[in-house]
Structure 1
Amino acid sequence: MASDAVFKYLTDTNRPYSCADITVNLRGTYSKNAVQKALDSLSELGKIRCKLYGKQKVYAAIQTDSEEVSDTEDYDSKIANLTKKLEENKSSLKTAESNLKNLLSAPTNECAISQIEEIKNNIVKLENKLSDLRNNADVISVDEKKNVLNEHEYYYKEYRKRKRICSDMIEAVLEGYPKSKKTFLDELCIETDETVNFKLVSKQ
């Protein structure tokens, strides 16, 4: 009979289950309706206890030995603790994923070394060019100088405009961001003029 099978299962496992769980765990030997009727009958006879968690009924056998399940066992507290641990684990996972993303986006040692060498070579070239400019008063013509100054003014204005757009975007994001501006910039690896001590001089 379904009642005997259900009672034996609950007694042997000594754990609370819902009707759906018991039906599945009995491998479909009895239909869900048959299992539910057996549970209702056993509950009326006082052989099992029924507890309501939200909209779901959970059933557990009433043990008669030293391992008797207490009516006062606080399953709600256990569920709350497990839920708290789950949220903590989700938070840790999110932090780990963020760190992994930053690490994957960072250049490898070989790539960084190559970039450093390239920058050093560019610095040497620029220093040589600057030295030539300082030592030769008439290196470029008046028209070339005018063109250079005009280009400098154009790019200076573009720099100011794009910096303002970027600042506006960051401020808009920070309105709904729960942490500080410094934390936000650090997480996105954004360097500002202030952090790298960069100063751009306009055309005089």
Structure 2
Amino acid sequence: MANEAVLKYLMETNRPYSCTDVTANLRGAYTKTAVQKALDALSDSGKIKCKVYGKQKVYAAIQSENLDSENEIEDFDNKLKSCAEILVEKTATLKKAEAELKALLSAPTTSDAKKLISEINTKVETLQKKLDSLRTSTNVVSVDTKNNILDEHIQLCKEYRKRKRIATDIIESIMEGYPKPKKCLIEELGLETDEMLVSEIDTIPERHKISFYLDIVTTVQPGLVFDL
């Protein structure tokens, strides 16, 4: 009788219990000794499972319908592996799509792009007109004249660097005993630095054009064309 009652209880609850738990849950219908004998008998006959944890034994019913065969386990492993591979592939696709979306969002809108194209076309037309004007100009500077101008400019640049180096040395010597910052000294002496000159380029009249070529700055009047 005790065997049947204990087995029925474990099957219905489908949870692991110790002998003390089973005895208490059966509400004293059987003594602890009788329950222990029933659990041992059921375990020996293979109707329930027994696990030993230290000095305590835990028993649980064997639900045959919940047992997975080796083939089923292998099938689940294969499905899990396949799902993992699909996840990696989908993750890569997602990252690529996110990058494309980010690029699209950072790109100008259609209206902004049309406006930008219009502005660029206007600049191109303006520059093309200036280029055509220079190409058709009859006031051509010969190669010799151009070379003379460039040679003279090179000499002036060398002289400029020489004088700038001398001026810099003088200022540094003064700064050794000057109590204020260098900026104050420059202002008091009324000196003009390269930075000041560059900041004033935009104020040069339109009738002059500044051409930078190989660290050479030349001023060319309108209507003059270098014969290359």
TM-score by length of 2: 0.36
Q: Which has the higher strand share?
A: 2
Q: Which has the larger radius of gyration?
A: 2
TM-score normalised by length of structure 1: 0.40
